[in-house]
Amino acid sequence: MDNFNISPEVLINIVTTYGPKLLAAIVTLIVGLWIVKLIVKGVGKGLDKSNVDVALKSFLKSLVSILLKVMVYITALGMLGIEMTSFIAVLGAAGLAVGLALQGSLANFAGGVLILFFKPFKVGDFIEGSGHSGTVEKIDILHTGLKTPHNQTIIIPNGQIANSSITNYSAKDTRRADLSIGVSYDTDIKQAREVILRVLNTDERTLKEPAEPVVVLTNLGDSSLDLSARAWTTTDDYWDYFFQNLEKIKEELDKEGIEMPFPQRDVHLFQEK
């Protein structure tokens, strides 16, 4: 046991050499963790003011907390004289390996963060993106779930939808309904226009702003004069408004004796002499 005796001089030397470093490291650790707590709290308040999604807010707070705490621990260990260069290099290499292995998932994760932060759409919106359309049922950190008009569920990776064009049909309170109507060439265009406008203007769902209904001739087709009726209505009423008025216009044109022709061809027969 005598071999393990430490002389007072050596003990004093150890205390004077490492004591201040240990004390400084402990103080740095305590103060650093306290500052991290304040920063995370401030980040949380800032996210609350920006109306960030709850899931994203929780994740960002956790991410900031972990990163800052790692920095505090590395700083405290470095103050004790522990060489951290190799540790940081190993940590970086491990992070790179994990990043390469999870490249697809990280792209979806980044897309989820962008979607939840910038909110190009929200739950309940009807959107079209990545070749699919439907009502948004849920937005996770990795995937977005859509319910199609056929009541099918489509799960789209966030990386894919974040890097594609998105059409959000629910973003605005109003939409313009464009109804295409074909009438025969012997039709009085003014009469057809009056009938169509009468149908649209008598519908209480037709809005006068941002523009009143109009009917214009858009094409001289092979078998018909193609008219386009354009009217504004609310986004919630859009589909009922579209289908019901299209049917009503057909009924009113029939009453006025205005024909909506089917495709036809003129065949000329030539007799050889």
Question: In the prediction, which pLDDT does 8 show?
Answer: 67
Question: In the prediction, which pLDDT does 97 show?
Answer: 67
Q: For residues 256 and 244, what is the distance between their CA atoms, to the nearest angstrom?
A: 19
Neighbours of 209 (CB within 10 A): 7
Nearest C-alpha neighbor of 222 from the set 189, 172, 184, 250:
184
The tens-digit pLDDT sequence of the chain (273 residues) is 455 566 666 566 656 666 677 787 788 888 888 888 888 888 777 767 766 666 666 667 777 787 888 888 878 777 777 666 666 676 677 666 666 555 557 788 888 888 888 888 988 999 998 889 999 998 888 889 999 989 999 999 988 888 888 999 999 999 999 999 999 998 999 999 999 999 999 999 999 999 999 999 999 988 889 999 999 999 999 999 999 999 999 999 999 999 888 776 777 777 776
Question: In the prediction, which pLDDT does 37 show?
Answer: 86
Question: In the prediction, which pLDDT does 46 show?
Answer: 77
Question: In the prediction, which pLDDT does 136 show?
Answer: 92
Residue-range domains of the chain with CATH? 10-101 (1.10.287.1260), 120-168 (2.30.30.60), 174-255 (3.30.70.100)
Question: In the prediction, which pLDDT does 26 show?
Answer: 82
User: CA quadruple 260, 266, 267, 273: dihedral positive or negative?
Assistant: positive
Which tokens go with 162? 């974040």
Q: For residues 177 and 240, what is the distance between their CA atoms, to the nearest angstrom?
A: 11
Which tokens go with 119? 């909110």
The reported pTM is 0.61
Q: For residues 80 and 87, what is the distance between their CA atoms, to the nearest angstrom?
A: 15
Question: In the prediction, which pLDDT does 6 show?
Answer: 61
Neighbours of 73 (CB within 10 A): 16
